[in-house]
Structure 1
Amino acid sequence: MSAGTHPSLRMDVPIIILLIHLTHTEIRGLLFSRAETETGCSLGHFPCGNMTECLPQALQCNGHKDCPNGADERRCGDNVGWADLFGETLQNSNTVDQYFLNECFLQEYPESCDCIQTDVACVEVNLQEVPRLSPNITWLSLRSNQIRVLSDSVFSEYSALERLFLQNNSLQLISKDAFSGLHSLKRLFLSENLISSLSPGVFKDLHQLEWLDLEGNQIQTLNYSILKSCSKLEVLLLMDNQIRRVPENTFQSLWKLAELNLSTNRIKELPKNTFKNLSKSLLKL
């Protein structure tokens, strides 16, 4: 349904475009805001700053510089950059004490990791489990290690944590209470692992979560009980999994969702009301 054909659609609200393409082996479901179509890139892609290069949306703010100029990791709050912490004016000021900006404010973190202020990066350091860290940590990257299991309450002491990167770890088992206590978490990256299932309630404490990336796993089923606590979720990436069925109430509580990607799964058909609540809340129909 387009904006021009529905009499009750208000023109002063963001317009979300829903694209669905079904084949025998996959479904492509994407929700995008109109703003993304004005960047010069195709739907599902973003520009690398002032460059002509466009990359898939899943690579933006994923904790890794994919644009040659690093534009994909700017203004994310995910990378060790001072714009989010102090503002651009202070960042560019000649009077900024660079020693202070690079100082670590954590008392405990592994020697093999890098720490700046309350941000810790433990990338490709052969970790097999989540390390001990100071409770005031706000940003943690454990990308590209060998962590295969997330046990109960493994992050429970880190209630201030806002960004958590766990890509490329061969993760197989995530306990139902693995993310308990993460009341401030806004972005969670679990892409490129071996996750085949998610327990009901696994994200129950993630009431502030805005971005969830589960791309490139082996997830087979979705249901309402997995996502019902994530009412602030804006981006949900589920492409390249093994999903066969999506119950019609799966996304019922995700009224703020602005991007949903279900491409390259094994869904043959969708219940007609799968996106019903999303359409009403996002498009104001």
Structure 2
Amino acid sequence: MFAVAFNVLELQRERTGCSLGYFPCGNTSKCLPQLLHCNSVDDCGNKADEENCDDNNGWSELFDLYYGRISEQETEFTNCMLGNFSEKCRCKGLELDCEHAGLHSVPLVSSNVLTLRLQINKIRKLHADGFSIYQDLQELNLNYNEITTVSERAFKGLHNLIKLYLSNNQIAFLPPGVFEDLQQVQWLILENNRIQKISPKTFIGLKSVVLLVLLNNSFHQLPAKPICQEMPKLNWLDFEGNQIESVKNGTFTCCTQLTVLVLRRNKINSLHEGAFASLQRLAELDLSLNRIQELPHNLFKQLRELLQL
């Protein structure tokens, strides 16, 4: 797992010339924060930041090289193999793309769907059992909706889901156990929401997750109890762009597989001496753009695999 993180970090630099969390402006040497990618503003000056908007976070290209593509069926079929779907959507094989379809709710689709892309719509609520008939579903993309409410049973029945995208919504609260059935999920992307509080119980069921992105939410503090208690395989954790003020000893106690931890652009002014003591496989730790004035003497003593700080 350490080698995976190292190779992904090197690939990012070689492929783009930019550090993790940044993207290049086309052929120029300029790098901008990922937050400015696909925000409908020409931040680069050559519109390069408004291209390739299907994957706004850039994780797919990097992680697919090491964790594999989620479904071989993606490329095997060109004709639609779904018997029922909205005329507002596009079907290819067992994939359904409903991007920019003006949807206000989750559409009814054939139960054999493998990939369901519902990004850039007007969905506001994820109701109980709304996806329960899609037990073969492997990828669910709900980015860029208006989701404010997520039922505790919203993802019930999704036993084969591998990737869940919930970025760029208005989610402020995740009920404990909401991900309980997602025991095969490897990626959980929750960036650019309004989540204020999490606990280990938030992540019950996520025993296979390797990537958790909580960038640009509204956290003021991290849980005192072990955040990885329910996520034993977590490899990559991103808390960039929150309001976190301190990191205590217990938060990362169970994160023994973690290789990348991003805490940049917070308001951290206090780090307990044992905050990172359990992270013996950590390869990259980003604490930049915080309010840290003094570091505990032995803060990094246990980080024997650390390559970048």
TM-score by length of 2: 0.66
1:13/1:135 CA distance change after superposition, 3 Å = same
1:245 is aligned to: 221
Number of residues of Structure 1 aligned to a counterpart in Structure 2: 240
> Could you tell me how far apart the structure 2 residues matched to 1:53 and 1:205 are?
42
Bigger Cα displacement from structure 2, 133-142 vs 250-259:
250-259
The letter for the 1-side match of 2:241 is T
SS in structure 2 of the partner of residue 14 of structure 1: helix
Shift of 1:246: 1.5
Residue deviations 1:127-176 (CA, integer Å, cap 9, x gap):
11101110000000111111101111000000100110111111011100
Shift of 1:51: 10
1:256 is aligned to: 233
Q: In the alignment, is the contact (CA less than 8 A) between 2:9 and 2:20 conserved in 1?
A: no
> Could you tell me how far apart the structure 2 residues matched to 1:59 and 1:120 are?
28
> Could you tell me how far apart the structure 2 residues matched to 1:258 and 1:188 are?
16
1:140 is aligned to: 116
Shift of 1:239: 1.1
TM-score by length of 1: 0.71
2:167 is aligned to: 191
Q: Is 2:82 the counterpart of 1:85?
A: no
1:220/1:74 CA distance change after superposition, 3 Å = closer
> Could you tell me how far apart the structure 2 residues matched to 1:238 and 1:46 are?
18
Computed over aligned residues only, the root mean square deviation of the Cα atoms, in angstroms, reads 3.6
1:274 is aligned to: 251
> Could you tell me how far apart the structure 2 residues matched to 1:279 and 1:217 are?
27
Q: Is 2:200 the counterpart of 1:224?
A: yes
1:89-168 residue pairs with structure 2 within 5 A?
101-168=77-144
SS in structure 2 of the partner of residue 225 of structure 1: helix
Shift of 1:194: 0.7
Shift of 1:75: 9.0
Q: Which runs of 5+ in 2 are unaligned?
A: 38-49, 260-279, 282-303, 305-309
> Could you tell me how far apart the structure 1 residues matched to 2:177 and 2:236 are?
22
Find the partner of 1:169 among 145, 150, 153. 145
> Could you tell me how far apart the structure 2 residues matched to 1:232 and 1:58 are?
27
Shift of 1:252: 2.2
Shift of 1:15: 7.5
Higher relative contact order (CA 8 A, sep 6+): 1
1:66/1:254 CA distance change after superposition, 3 Å = farther
SS in structure 1 of the partner of residue 123 of structure 2: coil
Q: In the alignment, is the contact (CA less than 8 A) between 1:36 and 1:46 conserved in 2?
A: no
SS in structure 2 of the partner of residue 140 of structure 1: strand
Find the partner of 2:3 among 3, 6, 14. 14
